[in-house]
Structure 1
């Protein structure tokens, strides 16, 4: 999956919501807190971690490549 970032960053829990991997930002926070999410190959437990263009997010075998829009 590819997410086209149209700003400086997106918070991790919001990215999960925007990509349809959870129903709400709160559900995204719970997913991150459970240890199921990795950013750039490392487990990420900060729910509002800032995700930038070039980052790679993985959750439950789904990979999200974050790219700059445009």
Structure 2
């Protein structure tokens, strides 16, 4: 992620190996906000990855909760 302002910290992933191996989440911490960049998994044709997608959504929702 390119920014004019250097973040306080950068975190890669959600902290769960099953979901982090695809490199879908980057979180930047700033003084007054967090910037979360995400590439949400696609459930694919015929919903081949729907179960993974649903699991990922639950994990991502829990990841975001502390930022609320």
Normalised by the length of structure 1, the TM-score is 0.32
Instruction: Identify, as 1 or 2, the structure richer in helix.
Output: 2
Instruction: Identify, as 1 or 2, the structure richer in strand.
Output: 1
Determine which structure has greater relative contact order: mean sequence separation of CA pairs < 8 Å that are 6+ residues apart, divided by chain length. Answer: 1
